[in-house]
Amino acid sequence: MHILTDVSLKHYSTMRLGGLAKALVEVSTKEELSEAIEWADKHAMPLLMLGGGSNVIFSDGFNGLVIVNRLNGYEVIAEDTKSATIKIGAGEPWDHIVKQTVQAGLSGIEKLSLIPGTAGATPVQNVGAYGAEIAEVLLELEVYDLKTHNFAILHKDDCQFSYRSSIFKSPKNRRYIITSITLRLSKRPPEPPFYDNLQYYLDKHQITTYTPQTIRDAVIAVRTSRLPDPELTPNTGSFFKNPVISVDHFNNLYQQYPTMAHWPTKDGHIKVAAGWLIEQAGLKGYQAHGMKIYEKHALVLVNDSAKSYADLATFRQEIIEKVKADFGIILEQEPELI
């Protein structure tokens, strides 16, 4: 185990912003993870677990030990005629896993293709795209419990999954470090109906055979046409959650804006597209403080040349205020703020 000191967190967040971490270590086995936690305890340092850094924003440095998860592994632990159960190391790059399951002919995560980050980060914000969510296929996960100082198994029902949220997301509840996830994937091909813009792509390219591979290819094409690659353009994907508003509030707005993108929620509210709100507020392509709203998708904030978190925070506030003034809706940040 090699502990580094005073490491710039810039290189560990795809937004490429962040101060110094007092200490940082990359762990690739459970033993190394236990050692790193003991080391932090001995030095009375707080802990922060990081995956690919594609869904975190650092407000500053971190006065503790950052553990970068490199725990790997891909193992089929059960299989029958209908499904396969796969245990995946939390540090595995997520899209490598999607590719592997798709090549094995398994369905369940193909719509989550090309999402940046690690496998172990997917349950934290209940990653979702094109109508699929990780919670739908997750059976259980293995964690290190910082309260009991033991490894433990959590079942899906223990995780309180909802839209872009889980028990792992709450800063108060940073009790668990995810070390592996177990998914149950189907041997049946994916079935329509598909999410609008995916269906549009399939129709346009006359794709009528739905396999995990054809759906993965379609998702990759749709994503790359609209979302910037974080390796090349610093960003953290959707910067805001799609806000959920009351039916009354929605009806008032809808009379004025009949093109407003929206979906009803299961609990009788209306979810509206934050990207639509930002675009209609006239902010698509807006640049200030070294930050920019991506021209092809208004929900993505790009770091062009921001110098610090303060630049991002000022920019974020301008967007929140403009959308609030125009629509009476307060946008909430989606990536975790640390």
The interaxial angle of helices 212-226 and 196-204, nearest 10 deg, is: 110
Tell me the CB-side half-sphere exposure of residue 67, using CA atoms within 13 A: 29
For residues 66 and 129, which CB has a smaller minimum distance to ligand EPU in the complex? 129
Minimal distance in Å, beta carbon 192 to ligand EPU? 15
- Residue 142 near ligand EPU by CB under 6 A: no
Minimal distance in Å, beta carbon 79 to ligand EPU? 29
What would the x/- binding string for ligand EPU be over residues 102 to 131, using CB under 6 A? ---------------------------xx-
Applying CB under 6 A, which part among 19-27, 40-48, 180-188, 292-300 lies near ligand EPU? 292-300
- Residue 35 near ligand EPU by CB under 6 A: no
For residues 180 and 236, which CB has a smaller minimum distance to ligand EPU in the complex? 236
Q: Which of 59, 197, 213, 333 is in the footprint of ligand EPU by CB under 6 A?
A: 197
Which three-class secondary structure state does DSSP give residue 246? coil
Identify whether the C-beta of residue 271 lies closer than 8 Å to the C-beta of residue 244: yes
Q: How many angstroms from the chain centroid is the CA of residue 260?
A: 25
- Residue 284 near ligand EPU by CB under 6 A: yes
Q: Please, is 258 exposed, middle or buried when counting C-beta atoms within 10 Å of its C-beta (0-12, 13-18, 19+)? A: exposed
26 classed as catalytic:
no
Q: What is the DSSP string of 63-113?
A: EEEEEEE----EEEEEE-SSEEEEEEETTSBHHHHHHHHHHTT-BSSGGGT
- Residue 237 near ligand EPU by CB under 6 A: yes
164 classed as catalytic:
yes
Number of residues that bind ligand EPU (CB under 6 A): 19
For residues 89 and 237, which CB has a smaller minimum distance to ligand EPU in the complex? 237
Which residues are within 8 A (CB) of 202 and not within 5 positions of it... i.e. 6 or more apart? 194, 208, 210, 214, 218
Q: Which of 69, 101, 238, 303 is in the footprint of ligand EPU by CB under 6 A?
A: 238
Q: Which of 121, 242, 243, 292 is in the footprint of ligand EPU by CB under 6 A?
A: 242
What would the x/- binding string for ligand EPU be over residues 249 to 278, using CB under 6 A? ------------x-----------x-xx--
CA proximity to 216, closest of 92, 114, 84: 114
Minimal distance in Å, beta carbon 329 to ligand EPU? 14
Minimal distance in Å, beta carbon 295 to ligand EPU? 9
334 classed as catalytic:
yes
Identify whether the C-beta of residue 48 lies closer than 8 Å to the C-beta of residue 338: yes
Q: Please, is 56 exposed, middle or buried when counting C-beta atoms within 10 Å of its C-beta (0-12, 13-18, 19+)? A: buried
Minimal distance in Å, beta carbon 1 to ligand EPU? 32
Chain residues binding ligand EPU by CB under 6 A are 129-130, 195, 197, 227, 237-238, 241-242, 261, 273, 275-276, 279, 284, 297-299, 334
Point out the residues that are catalytic. 164, 238, 334
